[in-house]
A and B are shown apart, each in its own frame.
Chain A
């Protein structure tokens, strides 16, 4: 039995992404992952997994998001790390797969270059089995690897862990070899992440206009009033902040210094990954700051499309990040550390 996050569409069932703006929305079709689950004979739970509206936590608060996982495992879209953090704190695992391996068709879009369904599970071995059931090319998603199916097994040989300077507090008790690595522009990742997310997000939420589907405000005079009232009443605070920030970073004045600069840094980050020195990078699952302060921790897999596994290793919350399509190194490391 697998629960789906409320952002994944199932034909004839509601999908709200936790937002009032989608409160009356009933999906006219099913997501690619739903089709894949049906092909594998996996039952979908009636109750939805959820965290926060459109997956955006309270940016300037430390309080954890209200994560609900109503089954042994769930399929979610984790851009801001709320599911990864929750998994590591609650003795579960969260697998964020390589971008382009799981279909985004029917996943309510937040930021197309970052959206990727992943697996929340009790045990990484079981989680990777579930991932293999939902991974594979879907022609309805235009940004996927052509590979039709995936199976995940632990890599052979010892896994070497790369530890960035600020993660030296992580202790793996000598179970795996570690080496010091540098992550390019790590100090800028939270800005890069939020600039690029908010820009893409503000475009994506332009579809919520009160006309085609979802919530519509009452007493509107004319179409512009309909847009303004529907969106102002239908979106929560963090969604509005992201939409307005997105408008700022995409504005004529700010596009070059903010949005374009963030895209260039994203390239430098991807090009400078230290996988010539290690098999996986280890990061803490939380630093105890606000969601914005800690955003850099969760940004790397999302910005560079890398596979990541969050779990508790000897009581410490950890995220392991591997190179593209090297999920087997994550599984091998988990088998030693968990």
Chain B
């Protein structure tokens, strides 16, 4: 069975044991299926990142007013003195 704890850590998750067993079983099935892709010859093919041939179209570099600090902070679970507040780190 796949040990998924390192992948959990990368995804910033800490699954309870029962959920970890379920996810590991699912990922085991998926990984076996994913391995079958190795049988497909893709020599000479470039990876396709976007289906559009259009490149990112950038707007003029002109300052525009977007969302205010107050509006953004209004969505935060905790805010203090105009900043996002997090638990003590040290």
B51/A113 in contact, CB under 8 A: yes
Say whether B22 contacts A237, CB under 8 Å: yes
User: Which residues of B52-78 have CB atoms within 8 Å of chain A's CB atoms?
Assistant: 52, 54, 56-59, 67, 71-72, 74-78
B11 near A202 with CB under 8 A, answer yes
> For residue A44, which residues in chain B have a CB less than 8 angstroms away from its CB?
none
Taking a contact as CB atoms under 8 Å apart, the answer to whether A228 and B26 are in contact is: no
Provide the residues of chain B in CB contact with A235, threshold 8 Å: 13
A9 CB to nearest chain B CB (Å): 11
On whether the beta carbons of B57 and A305 are closer than 8 Å, the reply is no
Number of A interface residues at 8 Å Cβ cutoff, please give it.
73
- Count of chain B residues near A, Cβ 8 A: 53
17 A–B contacts from the bound complex (CB under 8 Å): A60-B29, A142-B58, A144-B54, A206-B12, A215-B77, A222-B87, A223-B86, A228-B14, A232-B15, A240-B19, A245-B30, A257-B34, A261-B42, A264-B42, A265-B37, A270-B48, A304-B51
Whether A226 contacts B11 by the Cβ 8 Å rule is: no
Judge if B80 is at the interface, Cβ distance under 8 Å: no
A179: which B residues are within 8 A, CB to CB?
A: none
Which of A240, A258, A268 sits near B34, CB closer than 8 Å?
Answer: A258
Which of A60, A100, A139, A223 lies in contact with B54, CB distance below 8 A?
A100
**B75 lies within 8 A of A216 (CB):** no
Bound together, the chains give a CA A294 to CA B74 distance in angstroms of 42
A48 CB–B CB distance under 8 Å: no
A sample of 6 more A-B contacts (CB under 8 A), given A113-B51, A228-B12, is: A142-B57, A214-B75, A216-B78, A247-B8, A261-B40, A267-B47
CA distance A224 to B86 in the complex (A): 10
CA distance A313 to B4 in the complex (A): 44
B9 to chain A, nearest CB (A): 8
> Which residues of B line the A interface, CB within 8 A?
4, 6-8, 10-16, 19, 22-23, 26-27, 29-31, 33-38, 40, 42, 45-52, 54, 56-59, 67, 71-72, 74-78, 84, 86-89
Known contacts A59-B26, A241-B26; is-contact A211 B76 (Cβ 8 Å) = yes
Which of A22-30, A68-76, A121-129 contacts the other chain?
Answer: A22-30
CB-contact partner of B77 in A210, A228, A266, under 8 A: A210
When chains A and B are docked, how far (Å) is the Cα of A226 from the Cα of B78? 12
Instruction: Say whether A251 contacts B36, CB under 8 Å.
Output: no
Min distance, Cβ A104 to any Cβ of chain B, angstroms: 12
Q: Evaluate contact between B11 and A243: CB separation under 8 angstroms.
A: yes
Closest CB pairs A-B (n = 8): A263-B47, A305-B51, A216-B77, A267-B48, A213-B75, A264-B42, A247-B10, A264-B45
Q: Tell me whether chain A's interface is mostly helix, strand or loop, or mixed.
A: helix
Q: Are A191 and B48 in contact (CB under 8 A)?
A: no
Question: Closest residue of chain B to A27, judged by CB?
Answer: B75
List the A side residues contacting B34 at CB < 8 Å: 191, 195, 249, 257-258
Is A225 located at the chain interface by the 8 A CB criterion? yes
Rounded to whole angstroms, the CA-CA distance of A270 and B52 in the bound complex is 11
Report which of A143, A190, A202, A245 forms a contact with B27, defined as CB distance below 8 A: A245
Task: Give A195's nearest chain B residue, CB to CB.
Answer: B34
In the complex, what distance in Å separates the CA atom of A48 from the CA atom of B52?
30
Tell yes or no: A314 within 8 A of B by CB.
Answer: no
Q: Which residues of A contact B36 (CB under 8 A)?
A: 188, 191
Q: Are A143 and B87 in contact (CB under 8 A)?
A: no
Report how far A257 CA is from B42 CA in the complex, Å: 11
Decide if A244 is an interface residue (CB 8 Å cutoff): yes
